Amino acid sequence: MLAYGGDWNPEQWPEEIWSQDVRLMREAGVNRVSLGIFAWSKLEPAEGVYDFAWLDRCMDLLAENGIRANLATPTAAPPPWFAATYPQALPVDADGRVLTHGSRQSFCPSSPIYREKALAIAEKVATRYAGHEALALWHIHNEYGCHNSRCFCDTSAEAFRSWLCERYQSVDQVNQAWGSAFWSQLYSDWSQILPPRATPTFTNPAQQLDFRRFSSDALIELYRAERDLLAGITPGVPFSTNLMPGMHWEMDQFAFARELDVVSADHYLVGTDPEPHIHLAFSADLARSLNGGRPWLLMEHSTSGVNWQGHNRAKQPGEMIRNSAQHLARGADGIMFFQWRASAAGAEKWHSAMVPHAGTETKIWREVVELGALLHDNAAVEGSTVAADVAILMDYSSIWAQEHPAQPTTKHKPIDVIREWYGQLWKLGVTADVVHPSADLTGYQAVIVPALYSVNDHSQANLERFVEQGGVTLVGPYSGIVDEHDRVRLGGYPGAWRELLGITVEEFFPLDDDIRLTSGATGTVWSQLTHARGAKVLDSYVTGEPAWTRNVYGEGVAHSLTTLLTGDDLKHVIAEVCADAGVATSDHPGVEIVRRGHPDGSVHVFAINHTAEDVTVQGVGTVPAGRVVIAHQASAFPQEVAP
């Protein structure tokens, strides 16, 4: 059964609404809700004083109606009494400003007292509902680090030092890793080391990078503490927490995902994005990749507009169904929303929900019911997987390193570059995984490296081995430049992959204005003085230096770009790389075709028409404008499916 539902927040409503809620859930085919996420102050109104009676009734009501719960530990929103009693646990920003309670996630991730109180309420919830029929999954916390990913307080400073001590053993090793001889930063005692708080000018890049790693680890560690506690109380009940792939860049989600039984993900469209469905696809492909290709759970998206983008675009008729089908096509085994019933009060009252303020005679409710039927009718999709021929390499640490502001140019934005390259693959109809550079690359035909500024020796060799053994790669500019400590790999850029790419780069020349290449393509933001050392030049600057190169390496081929291309120019290069790799491409702007397969060879073909015209997809039939068709084939004949 595919999961279907949303965050149910009964604590916001009088009890008479609850039975109406459950009746409507049944009408829409809802079989799963996330419950109790922000209910700490209702469950523990004063320290050590508990009230579970209301949640008992909710859990029982769900069980009676055959609906199951992702039951939350409510630790993402400590109650006011917590901040009042333990002000030392409040988060502090880089400028030393204490952030108080009154919204959510107002706690320092390294605070021992926060951890103690969070574990105490988690234990109460777990012991209370162990064995309850409605309990399906632990929803631990909510979006770790969404608002408090980095805390700069004294407690965090101490925890940072312990983390460094474990990683480097000695202060000398820290000095070495951080290049502390620069600007007189050599430390002689652990106590001198601080988080990268506000400084007169740039902080040490390796220090800020390690602090971001530490901050990510601190949150994962908090999750682990709750998970291990719950595991002891409810063995066999799976765990999850909602990650934000493609949306939130503060946590190393590859590292986090390894700790989860069920990878679950949240995604929201960005209203200013002219092609938000492509960003959605990126997020979904990343969610699947975080789970090693196995099915995952869409924990949150929206039925229509959100409330946090300033100017919040509402979804057009049919858009929410297309969005949901995209997630499903890309490996989700459940579609859920924030939230079930639109709040009447509070900071999110203008966020859309499954039951809108206007009730059930609405576009939103009709689509909610329609989606429930679609998921019910396509229950056979559950458990099937998506096979991708292409991998995109992405590393959070590399992004963090490049986000230090002292760069040749800050206009080269790695996240934007990764999305742009992904977008062109999407337009070529190529389904891609988004994987960590150290991942096993066997099985992929092409590996695309849009922006990987920092790479360690292991990942450097991983890509080389992939190509040597017959793979095809395309590496973007400013990739393979520094090691994991943000230390330049010397001797000509890109130090990591000079041999692989058959080029050497003397100097970077960030562009003030776009430039024309010999082919007529337009380079933006970046250029560099590159010498071909064995690579063939496929395109060049008008001055003759290489802009696009192709190098035969071992049994494979390594392409590189020395400027940033976008749009059709980039699509052309990626199409050539796919052709080199034997990856089929098809130009069908706006019609998304993705397959999910079962081990027996049967396939579900998802055809999602984002255009305003009906299209005919071979092997699927007519896909009306703006609609979705899911075709089932007894065995895989992918060549029959082409628009």
- Alpha helix segments (H runs only) across 65-138: 80-85, 112-129
For residue 266, the minimal CB distance to ligand GAL (Å) is: 6
The secondary structure element, H or E, covering residue 62 is helix 53-64
Q: Return the number of the residue (53 or 345) whose C-beta is nearest ligand GAL.
A: 345
DSSP bridge partners of 505: 493, 530
For residue 403, the minimal CB distance to ligand GAL (Å) is: 21
In single-letter form, the type of residue at position 181 comes to A
Q: Does 114 bind ligand GAL (CB under 6 A)?
A: no
Binding residue (CB under 6 A) for ligand GAL from 146, 151, 164, 329: 146
Q: Does 340 bind ligand GAL (CB under 6 A)?
A: no
DSSP bridge partners of 556: 553
For residue 91, the minimal CB distance to ligand GAL (Å) is: 17
User: What CA–CA distance (Å, rounded) separates 598 from 274?
Assistant: 34
Q: Does 545 bind ligand GAL (CB under 6 A)?
A: no
Sheet holding 556-561, edge to edge: 432-435, 390-393, 446-449, 472-475, 556-561, 546-553, 536-540
Q: Does 300 bind ligand GAL (CB under 6 A)?
A: yes
Q: Return the number of the residue (266 or 539) whose C-beta is nearest ligand GAL.
A: 266
Catalytic residue among 44, 226, 300, 319: 300
For residue 244, the minimal CB distance to ligand GAL (Å) is: 7
Candidate ranges 138-146, 223-231, 391-399, 480-488; the one touching ligand GAL (CB under 6 A):
138-146
Alpha-carbon torsion angle 444, 450, 454, 456, nearest 10: 10
Residue showing tokens 């679950």: 264
Binding residue (CB under 6 A) for ligand GAL from 213, 227, 351, 412: 351
DSSP per-residue string spanning 178-235: HTTTGGG---SSGGG-------SS---HHHHHHHHHHHHHHHHHHHHHHHHHHHHHST
Tell me phi and psi for residue 4, to 5 degrees.
Answer: -145, 130
Smallest Cα–Cα separation from 333: which of 596, 125, 588, 89?
596
For residue 356, the minimal CB distance to ligand GAL (Å) is: 15
Q: Does 250 bind ligand GAL (CB under 6 A)?
A: no
The verdict on whether omega for the bond into residue 173 sits within 30 degrees of 0, i.e. cis, is no
User: What CA–CA distance (Å, rounded) separates 552 from 560?
Assistant: 12
Burial of 221 (0-12, 13-18, 19+ CB in 10 A): middle
Binding residue (CB under 6 A) for ligand GAL from 306, 336, 386, 575: 306
Q: Does 433 bind ligand GAL (CB under 6 A)?
A: no
Rg (CA), the chain: 26
Candidate ranges 89-97, 140-148, 252-260, 544-552; the one touching ligand GAL (CB under 6 A):
140-148
Binding residue (CB under 6 A) for ligand GAL from 163, 338, 400, 553: 338
Q: Does 565 bind ligand GAL (CB under 6 A)?
A: no
For residue 43, the minimal CB distance to ligand GAL (Å) is: 17
* Spatial contact of 219 and 369, defined as CB atoms under 8 Å apart: no
Binding residue (CB under 6 A) for ligand GAL from 82, 129, 254, 268: 268
User: What CA–CA distance (Å, rounded) separates 186 from 179?
Assistant: 8
Q: Does 140 bind ligand GAL (CB under 6 A)?
A: no
For residue 338, the minimal CB distance to ligand GAL (Å) is: 4
Q: Return the number of the residue (208 or 302) whose C-beta is nearest ligand GAL.
A: 302
Q: Does 219 bind ligand GAL (CB under 6 A)?
A: no
User: What CA–CA distance (Å, rounded) separates 430 from 584?
Assistant: 7
Residue 123: active-site member: no
Binding residue (CB under 6 A) for ligand GAL from 9, 142, 156, 454: 142
Q: Does 633 bind ligand GAL (CB under 6 A)?
A: no
User: What CA–CA distance (Å, rounded) separates 269 from 300?
Assistant: 11
User: What CA–CA distance (Å, rounded) separates 243 from 434?
Assistant: 15
Q: Does 40 bind ligand GAL (CB under 6 A)?
A: no
Catalytic residue among 143, 420, 464, 592: 143
DSSP bridge partners of 33: 6, 69
Q: Does 337 bind ligand GAL (CB under 6 A)?
A: no
For residue 268, the minimal CB distance to ligand GAL (Å) is: 5
For residue 63, the minimal CB distance to ligand GAL (Å) is: 24
DSSP bridge partners of 621: 617
DSSP bridge partners of 482: 454, 488
Tell me phi and psi for residue 174, to 5 degrees.
Answer: -65, -45
# chain residues binding ligand GAL, by CB under 6 A: 10
Residue 613: active-site member: no
Q: Return the number of the residue (117 or 141) whose C-beta is nearest ligand GAL.
A: 141
Kindly list the catalytic residues. Answer: 143, 300
**Residues of the shown chain interacting with ligand GAL in the complex, contacts defined by CB under 6 A:** 142-143, 146, 266, 268, 300, 306, 338, 348, 351
